[in-house]
Amino acid sequence: MNPGSDVEQRPPSVPKMTWVKEEKEGPGTAPAQQPGELEQFQPPQQGAAMERTREQERSRGLFRTTAQMICKFMKRIREEETSAIGTVVRAYSPIFKTKTSAALLDMLVEEGPSSPKQVLPMVRFIHQWLKANEFPEYNLYRPLLDLTEAQPADVVMALLRVAPWCDRAATTMWKSIMCSCRAAEPAMLILLDVLGTWPELSMCTSDGDHTAVLALAATVVIWKILQLPCVPHAVTVYFPRLLVHLLLQVLFSTLDLPEKVDTFWKRCQQQHGLAISPNRFAVQTLKALLCRLHYEDVVAAVEDECGWDTLLCAGTHHCAVGVLARAMRHVSLPLCSAIAFYLLGLLSKDTAHGDLAAMAFLVEMLECLDSSEYRDSVLEIASSKLQSECRERRRLALRGLVVLGKNSSMAKRMWSLHERLVELLGENDSHVLGMSIALLSRLFLYNGGPITIPLGLQLAEALLPLFDNEDSQVQLCSMFIFQEMMDLVPKEGKKALKSHVQQSLLPLSLHCHDENQRVVDASRETLLCSARFLKRKDLQQMLRVDQTWRFGEGLLAQDRSRAAEHLHRALLYLDSPQESLRAAAIRFIGMAGQHLRGNKRELQSICQGE
């Protein structure tokens, strides 16, 4: 720029009025004089005139320097020198405190970026300008929103990198973006991508920058957005995804806190006066989200069950998620449906991170949702989790499958799971056992096809101990499946199954004296099927005429060689909490003792507990 013609040769594309206004307002410009004043004009003294000339020269020099700096700054941006973007902005930081910066913003938006690589230095410039001008009003929203609309990923990632702690200037920029109908949605989608990646997301932007952005930085942004007087529409639209990602971030920040995250969080604590840990901050943001969208009742319901504190422990996090899900069921089924749909998408990615929490939320939703929309996906996911070595994952998978199994068409499609369910009958977990046997009974109810001989043998071995289970529902299901097994095993496999069926006679006959009438009825029915399977017409006749008290005699009469074996089993029932079962066992032991009266050695070994 020619120093002698600074006014006439202003940088191209800069609105003329902006520059003229600055020159008119310059400290060296004399105020306009009225005609009446001209008549009284007196020539100034020579010293005053020289001083005025020097002041004008200084003003023009300052303006000339600023203008030259702006031109150089714009040239650097256009040259796309991306390797030192931050250095470029810092080198020209003096212009941010001048009025000419408004004209520069005007120039930026009027010409627009000729390349996506220019977006990032522009974002940095706007942030620096806002830092230097505490109450900016001139021409901010238009360039920022135009940039965001054109390159949302570049703008969001650049802003998170430039101001990860979300200072005052960055908060102003986020507010402008999130309150814009044209920029908020694309920006929110990028923020959600960052939120969903712990601890950091490395997204290559147009300038080739791979610098990772911390998910916690995105959480700070959401926290600041939720403090706005009016909640942006994008927050309401993407509430299900926000809720899920914040829930998972509580877990991730509890399990793993890398050094860079810890360092970042200390800076955040200084910036915002926070005295809580990252996981508690995520909980605080989650509660703020619920309250801003008028779900205060949900927050209170979770608090009543100590759910928020439970959420902070990695081992119980999924339990707290279940508590939250149950509370939300009473608020809005469409909202729950949207959350369930998003969770299914996460679970289908087959990642172990957060799947326990996702399953916990989903299974609570199944009973109150129209499962026809989701059942195929849920069946696929739950079937996969059923193979997991993690007990909690198996439990949650079974809960989901039990709900699906109430539908006859789904129960038929689940038949492929029967082998795995038989394996789970041996679990030392009452919850897993109860759900496995209940689901297996549904599968047998709706699948009448033949079963293989190995499966029949495996089933018989697994079911016999369950006749004595303390849970009556487990007893009933095991007896029902035992009946189905005897009917469905192929003819050539009946001989191999005979010994297992014979072992069922004693426990079933004793449970005909159970205190629970439903167990009594199921025992008689199963006992009749067993007698029919063994072709024991004498036993069938006793059951038909309701002579179960004589059943023990018939059992011992035909096979005296097994009296000792039956006696051994009957002794176990002497410890039963039911008096009726103990009495029935004592009667049978007496009869068996009569049959062993001539075998002193056998009686002695039984008495000694051998």
Q: What is the DSSP string of 458-519?
A: HHHHHHGGGGG-S-HHHHHHHHHHHHHHHHHS-GGGHHHHHHHHHHHHHHHHHGGG-SSHHH
Find the angle CA(447)-CA(451)-CA(455) to the nearest 5 degrees. Answer: 120
pLDDT at 564: 80
pLDDT at 34: 44
**Greatest CA separation for the chain:** 152
Of residues 229 and 118, the one with the higher pLDDT is: 229
Q: How confident is the model at residue 543 (pLDDT cuts 50, 70, 90)?
A: confident
Distance between CA atoms of residues 171 and 178, nearest Å = 10
Does the pTM of the predicted model rise above 0.75?
yes
Quick check: 397 pLDDT over 70? yes
Quick check: 31 pLDDT over 50? no
Q: How confident is the model at residue 7 (pLDDT cuts 50, 70, 90)?
A: very low
From 306-320, 507-521, 556-570, the region with the lowest mean pLDDT:
556-570
pLDDT at 3: 42
pLDDT at 102: 58
Q: How confident is the model at residue 463 (pLDDT cuts 50, 70, 90)?
A: very high
pLDDT at 283: 98
pLDDT at 608: 53
Distance between CA atoms of residues 40 and 528, nearest Å = 131
Distance between CA atoms of residues 139 and 137, nearest Å = 7
Report the Cα–Cα distance between both ends of the chain, in Å, rounded: 110
pLDDT at 1: 43
* Mean pLDDT of the residues in the chain: 83
What value does the mean pLDDT take over residues 39-64?
Answer: 57
Read out DSSP for 157-185? HHHHHH-TT--HHHHHHHHHHHT-TTTHH
From 415-424, 500-509, 543-552, the region with the lowest mean pLDDT:
543-552
**pLDDT winner (highest mean) among 12-26, 310-324, 487-501, 547-561:** 310-324
**pLDDT winner (highest mean) among 286-290, 327-331, 489-493:** 286-290
pLDDT at 128: 86
Read out DSSP for 216-243? HHHHHHHHHHTTSSS--HHHHHTHHHHH
What value does the mean pLDDT take over residues 513-518?
Answer: 96
What value does the mean pLDDT take over residues 523-552?
Answer: 88
Quick check: 377 pLDDT over 60? yes
pLDDT at 368: 80
pLDDT at 142: 79
Quick check: 66 pLDDT over 70? no
Q: How confident is the model at residue 55 (pLDDT cuts 50, 70, 90)?
A: low
What value does the mean pLDDT take over residues 137-159?
Answer: 84
From 353-357, 468-472, 517-521, the region with the lowest mean pLDDT:
353-357
Read out DSSP for 344-369? HHHHTT--STTHHHHHHHHHHHHTTS
What value does the mean pLDDT take over residues 403-413?
Answer: 92
* 3-state DSSP assignment of residue 213: strand
pLDDT at 180: 93
Of residues 300 and 73, the one with the higher pLDDT is: 300
Quick check: 224 pLDDT over 90? yes
Of residues 134 and 610, the one with the higher pLDDT is: 134
Quick check: 101 pLDDT over 90? no
Of residues 391 and 555, the one with the higher pLDDT is: 391
pLDDT at 86: 47
